[in-house]
Structure 1
Amino acid sequence: MHLSLASVLQESAQRRPDAIAAVEGDRRATYAQLWDAARRRAGALAEHGIAAGDRVALLAPNTVDFITAYYGILAHGAVVVPVAPMLVQDEIAHLLRDSGARLALVAGEAAATGAAAAARAGVAALDLADPAALARPAPARAARAPLDPAVLFYTSGTTGRPKGAVLTHLNLVMNAFVNAFTANHIHADDVMFGCLPLFHTFGQTVALNGTFLAGGTLVLQPRFDPHEALALMAEHRVTAFLGVPTMYMGLLAAARDGAPVPRLRLCVSGGAPLPVRVLEEFEATFGVRVQEGYGLSETSPTATVNQLEYGIEPGSIGHPIWGVEAEIADAEVEDEVVLMGPGEVGEIVIRGHNVFAGYHERPEATAAAIVDGWFRSGDLGTKDDRGFLRIVDRKKDLILRGGYNVYPREVEEVLVRHPAVDQVAVVGIPHSSHGEEVLAVVVRAGGAEAGEDELLAWAGERIARHKRPRHVAFVDELPLGPSRKVLKRELRDRFADLGRA
């Protein structure tokens, strides 16, 4: 049996050859042009000695060159290893060595860093702007089996060195197909805004592959800027936006500054929990429902999303997508999956066509992650009697204060409603008698002057005593990883001494 993720582009190039597939600045590329360039990339890989099944790193921003290289690698039958352009040399070199990449394709501002990191790792590098990165088009797409590896995604590494999650052609074709046609209902006349990093699974599977499956247009923004984003949306009549919570917050702030508000049809949020206050304000400002979803690199990524057929429930992550199951299991039992009943807090476990093949060359980690056929997400959640799932928090972010469980997201939802709070992250820091103490790290709203005492009093009126923060730290911005998730580990380390004071 044959199945290739490259068919996402190839099929649309056959069905809609002259339709605009991608927009980057003043550049317009049709589906036929993208597929021709992808085949030329595949031809260049052959000339550089890359064989089917070899791993090829791709380090580039959100550009047409990323797209042609991505599908070119797949068309050649090689495995894509996406690398975040903002990583430093040591981090890039580690990923190249760990993945066993035979070649690194680099582009843009990070090309020099990527090439230097490749040299340190003993890997050849090729700039996508080099004429040698294009060659005579490959005569045909390489044959691949459904369970062959297609993309090696590295986890964000918020809790340690990143691990490579092996995603198959079946994983990624199915996830893109279900997102596009049964969960999000993307249309051929949709114009999708492409600000999510294409090196990340959300942007790659849902925005890029989902849009191309439907035959729509992807408007690329190499680096997210909310004011520019709204201007581009208005210019190109964007109808669909996919983003992470920090992007929604940025768009709201830009709209408050008077930036144009586009007429959107579809909005999906993922990557991290979206505060209900932000969701409500965004819907009121932009006049569109936000469908919050949930997934991980290991689940291709989408596992659940608020779907119109089930109804949309603010604060929830909706229902599992077609062909996928998501349940709640006892988080304390690690060697088997013990499912729990409605309303009980436990670990979210997932099984279906979206679950990855395992961690690259890490059998012990794979065995710990996939138990009894279920992927253990590491996220704590609940499921109500209507089937709506809710995230409580990351299992590793759970704060244990004086023997009581404190879920940071619950505290964050309260604090972010204070008018002086723009963003907040709640973490546990060491404490001599309580074990851990609750710290709120706050980014103030523009012009606000609220101090620690005011915010602690606000929380004290709205949260049970054992959950209340005892410390507030103010920062200009929260540290974000490559996928724009808040790096709570960095905050715990930075403010660890507060709990000992």
Structure 2
Amino acid sequence: MPITAPPPGLPRSLDYPDVPVGSILAAAARRYGARTAFAHGERELSFTELYRAACRFANALIAHGIGQGDTVALHLPNCLAYPVAYYGTLLSGATFSPANPLLPPDDLAFQLTDCEAAVVVTYGPLSGTLAAVADRIPARSVIVVSPAEALRDNEAEFEAFHAELPSTRPEVDIDVRTDLAHLAYTGGTTGRSKGVQLPHRNVVVNTLQYVCSQTGARPLLDEHGDVTVEQVGSADEWPTRHGTGVVVNVTPWFHAMGTIAALNAVVLVGTTVVLHERFDPARYIADAERLRVTSIGGAPALYAGLLACPEFATADLSSIRTLGSGAAPMSHEMINALQDRFPGAAIVEGYGLTEVTMVAVTSPAYRSGTRKVGSVGLPAPDTEIKIVSAEGGEDALPAGEQGEVCVRGPQVMTGYRHRPAETAAALVDGWLHTGDIGVLDEDGYLSIVDRKKDMLLYKGYNVFPRELEELLAAHPGVVTAAVVGRPRDDVGELPVAFVVKEPGDGLDADTLLDAVNAQVLPYKRLRELYFVDEIPVSAAGKVLKRELREQLS
């Protein structure tokens, strides 16, 4: 099928060096040195300081007998200790496993046991949750960032753990194609999480796929053999140059989008990241204006919060050149509203999942690129996309037909940990069956229709919730909406909507139902509608439809 060509000089295939993930930070420290890498409150870490601290942490792990074959779990919110522990773990040869700091005790115990975490790095205010499951997990030791109380017998304070160790890179022989860098767990929005196995090569490849396509660059090795990138695209097309970017980040690093796009990618290109521990729209906007940020990135929930904040319409945000979104689809209404607010900026949606490290498809980020509202864009370099029947099979459907999205490329996982049957079902001849329903157009642009598991069956007809959600979101007075199915023996599932409306709006449920149902075929009509204060979302910004279905039971 035809694929829109990139600007001159940017190939669709990249040369990926066989280097471990720690190589990204090593090269960035030499290149960007004293420039601030991360800032949180009054504290800052330069690229050099981050690298030295990560090396000390790596050497401390090795001194405690932790290295290749071991897993280090980070049970942390975003904080300055996170990148130190992340890169330190990988420099030691151990495997990084991110754990959502808000996991309930049973889920936390399951994940730490499943990944066989030898060490857990946790945050003081959260250490009680970890202590409550200590007898159910295999961890030999716990490292605590900002202890909230006296340390227990097997605990060490984070700074003290590595303060006296050498700040030089340890010599570790890492096989980048087989040694795991990440053992990342799926979001679990449809059930218990699965451990996704990602070797070092996957992480480096996907970081380069993302950075090179989004910033007009190509990979190369520096004089020490570490990976960096050269920005070959013009400033007219990619106005934010490497080593000049500034962003405010609230994307959690324990999520795939956070680890690749908001950690490895920003380090690779020398972006300064200011951390906010939680999303406060007014504070976010104030810092974006004060710091002259160059881009905004996050899930649609972030943009919904910004658009609903009065300051967003009046703040001087003229420094912003790119708005990036992932984790869930943006509504057409949201994209149009953001384009009106930032007429000269590129609004770039992407599509990916933990099983492809992070990104598989992304909209063109260069200014003259074609971005289609409702589409997540074109395949990343060296990535193939095909659409197959949602009912099963491997034959590719023609352009314009809906079906399950399948992905093949060097960033696809090696498999699920301890789950051979599920691995075999998901990976067929190198093709990952994503469980998402999508459609490719004649130009190769992908649009995501819905999750395969979210698709409703009404009297044998397929009903895609996203179509109804788009119609709801477009109605005046609606902030956001989600649609799920209510099981019924005689017809299958009835579409039911949960809607958040603007404060003080007098919108009537029957009026909204009639307005949406007038625009769809009879079998797609909403049968019930409930106004709610909020739609439950995961920390990564994905709607937790399981929780909505539970409200109907």
TM-score by length of 1: 0.95
**Higher RCO (C-alpha 8 Å, min separation 6):** 2
Residues 61 and 108 in structure 1, CA contact (< 8 A), matched pair in contact too: no
Residues 118 and 138 in structure 2, CA contact (< 8 A), matched pair in contact too: no
Partner in structure 1 of residue 198 of structure 2:
167
Q: What CA deviation, in whole Å up to 9, does each residue of 1:379-437 have, x standing for no partner?
A: 00100111111111100000111121111001100011111211100111112321110
Comparing 387-396 with 447-456, greater Cα deviation is found at 447-456
Structure 1 runs of 4+ with >6 Å offset: none
Tell me how large the CA RMSD over aligned residues is: 1.7
Partners of 1:41 and 1:316 in 2: CA distance? 42
Partner in structure 2 of residue 437 of structure 1:
494
Partners of 1:36 and 1:238 in 2: CA distance? 27
Residue in structure 1 matching 2:333, options 266, 277, 297: 277
Residue in structure 1 matching 2:258, options 203, 218, 223: 203
Comparing 401-410 with 259-268, greater Cα deviation is found at 259-268
SS of 1:313 mapped into structure 2: coil
Identical pairs, percent: 38
Partner in structure 2 of residue 254 of structure 1:
309
Partner in structure 1 of residue 176 of structure 2:
146
Which residues of 2 match residues 236-385 of structure 1 at below 5 A? 236-255=291-310, 260-263=315-318, 264-287=320-343, 288-307=345-364, 308=366, 310-333=369-392, 336-385=393-442
Q: What CA deviation, in whole Å up to 9, does each residue of 1:157-201 have, x standing for no partner?
A: 111110010111111111111211223446221112221001111
How far does residue 42 in structure 1 lie from its aligned partner after superposition? 1.0
Residue in structure 2 matching 1:66, options 82, 105, 108: 82
Tell me if 1:470 matches 2:501: no
Partners of 2:316 and 2:416 in 1: CA distance? 42
Residue in structure 2 matching 1:90, options 106, 110, 119: 106
Partners of 2:196 and 2:484 in 1: CA distance? 27
Residues 282 and 311 in structure 2, CA contact (< 8 A), matched pair in contact too: no
Partners of 2:535 and 2:180 in 1: CA distance? 35
Amino acid at match of 1:18: A
Amino acid at match of 1:265: R
Partner in structure 1 of residue 128 of structure 2:
112
The verdict on how the C-alpha distance between 1:119 and 1:285 changes in structure 2, with shifts beyond 3 A counting, is farther
How far does residue 116 in structure 1 lie from its aligned partner after superposition? 3.4
The verdict on how the C-alpha distance between 1:313 and 1:257 changes in structure 2, with shifts beyond 3 A counting, is closer
Comparing 357-366 with 281-290, greater Cα deviation is found at 281-290
Residues 52 and 168 in structure 2, CA contact (< 8 A), matched pair in contact too: no
The verdict on how the C-alpha distance between 1:2 and 1:402 changes in structure 2, with shifts beyond 3 A counting, is closer
The verdict on how the C-alpha distance between 1:479 and 1:15 changes in structure 2, with shifts beyond 3 A counting, is same
Residue in structure 2 matching 1:183, options 207, 214, 226: 214
Comparing 54-63 with 136-145, greater Cα deviation is found at 136-145
Q: What CA deviation, in whole Å up to 9, does each residue of 1:363-387 have, x standing for no partner?
A: 1111110012100000001001111
Q: What CA deviation, in whole Å up to 9, does each residue of 1:38-68 have, x standing for no partner?
A: 1111122123321222101001111111110
Partners of 2:404 and 2:75 in 1: CA distance? 34
Which residues of 2 match residues 399-438 of structure 1 at below 5 A? 399-438=456-495
Q: What CA deviation, in whole Å up to 9, does each residue of 1:316-353 have, x standing for no partner?
A: 011001111111112212xx521110001110000001
Tell me if 1:125 matches 2:180: no
Partners of 1:33 and 1:384 in 2: CA distance? 47
Residue in structure 2 matching 1:32, options 45, 48, 55: 48
Residues 165 and 356 in structure 1, CA contact (< 8 A), matched pair in contact too: yes
Residue in structure 2 matching 1:227, options 282, 289, 300: 282
How far does residue 488 in structure 1 lie from its aligned partner after superposition? 0.5
Residues 156 and 482 in structure 1, CA contact (< 8 A), matched pair in contact too: no
Q: What CA deviation, in whole Å up to 9, does each residue of 1:426-461 have, x standing for no partner?
A: 111112321110101111112112222111111122
Partners of 1:257 and 1:269 in 2: CA distance? 17
Count of residues in Structure 1 that have an aligned counterpart in Structure 2? 494
TM-score by length of 2: 0.86
Partners of 1:217 and 1:100 in 2: CA distance? 34
Tell me if 1:137 matches 2:153: no
Partners of 1:251 and 1:431 in 2: CA distance? 38
How far does residue 259 in structure 1 lie from its aligned partner after superposition? 6.4
Tell me if 1:10 matches 2:31: no
SS of 1:114 mapped into structure 2: helix
Comparing 250-259 with 123-132, greater Cα deviation is found at 250-259
Q: Structure 2: state its 5+ residue gaps.
A: 1-16, 147-156, 217-239
Q: Structure 1: state its 5+ residue gaps.
A: 497-501
The verdict on how the C-alpha distance between 1:474 and 1:87 changes in structure 2, with shifts beyond 3 A counting, is same
Residue in structure 2 matching 1:57, options 73, 80, 100: 73
